[in-house]
Structure 1
């Protein structure tokens, strides 16, 4: 068996790497030249965005905060769904629903104290982590409702 020197091995690896890189650049260029590339890319991004928003129920339509009855119905519905999902073992979605309920609750501190006593510590910790992401959604929904009222 002949010993192959390190330099020959290095040169061979460099040549292979260069060939592979050229191959990648060629096909990327060919893909971008395709007339339907941008159309397909937009469709793929739109489908991905729709799947993300429809895949998560927690991106709920929050009620009009001025309508007390709608807020109360939404609150009770979210608490019930959250409890059911937690009982079924779906922690992520259950915590999302409970976070929605806390976001619309008139007395969130008292509700959080009750939830801290009733939920497992790791589930409560997940809930507390999720709360900062819920508040902007409530505010965004309120702004959208106000803009619709103006139009």
Structure 2
């Protein structure tokens, strides 16, 4: 039994209409919820406050724990790349700067980043690097962690 193109098109159209109706129905139910606006405001407020906490990408690792430093480094690289891809240049450069600041082989990493990043973004990173390193040092001192010059470059 062969299904004609028109039958297949009609079935796809009906399925699309049902899906759209399903989305509209649940969107209306969500908006009718008396707590919707409160939840939305709370979520936006949390996201705004999380923006400043997001600058350091979570808790700083123990500088003596090599695995924790490596996880932090990889997390910062990944966040930086994702934010740059999403068009959030400042935040992406901030995270990449933190990765460079905790990297043990700073020059090699900067060389790789220079080859892979557009020149204007790489220059933003170079300008931001001293500020990020200093902020990282300050937060490490505030947390009571011992910091050596070779740990943060």
TM-score, normalising length from structure 2?
A: 0.58
Is the contact made by 1:65 and 1:142 (CA closer than 8 Å) also made in structure 2? no
Task: Output the CA distance in 2 between the equivalents of 1:143 and 1:59.
Answer: 14
Is the contact made by 1:53 and 1:59 (CA closer than 8 Å) also made in structure 2? no
Match runs of 1:1-150 below 5 Å: 54-56=50-52, 57-60=54-57, 61-146=59-144
Distance 1:95 1:142, change over 3 A: same
TM-score, normalising length from structure 1?
A: 0.58
Gaps of 5+ in 2: 1-46, 146-153
Task: Output the CA distance in 1 between the equivalents of 2:140 and 2:87.
Answer: 32
Rg (Cα) greater in structure? 1
Q: What is the RMSD computed on CA atoms of the aligned residues?
A: 2.2
Task: Output the CA distance in 2 between the equivalents of 1:137 and 1:53.
Answer: 19
**Count of aligned pairs:** 98
Task: Output the CA distance in 1 between the equivalents of 2:136 and 2:62.
Answer: 10
Task: Output the CA distance in 1 between the equivalents of 2:86 and 2:143.
Answer: 34
When you count helix as a share of all residues, which structure comes out higher?
Answer: 1
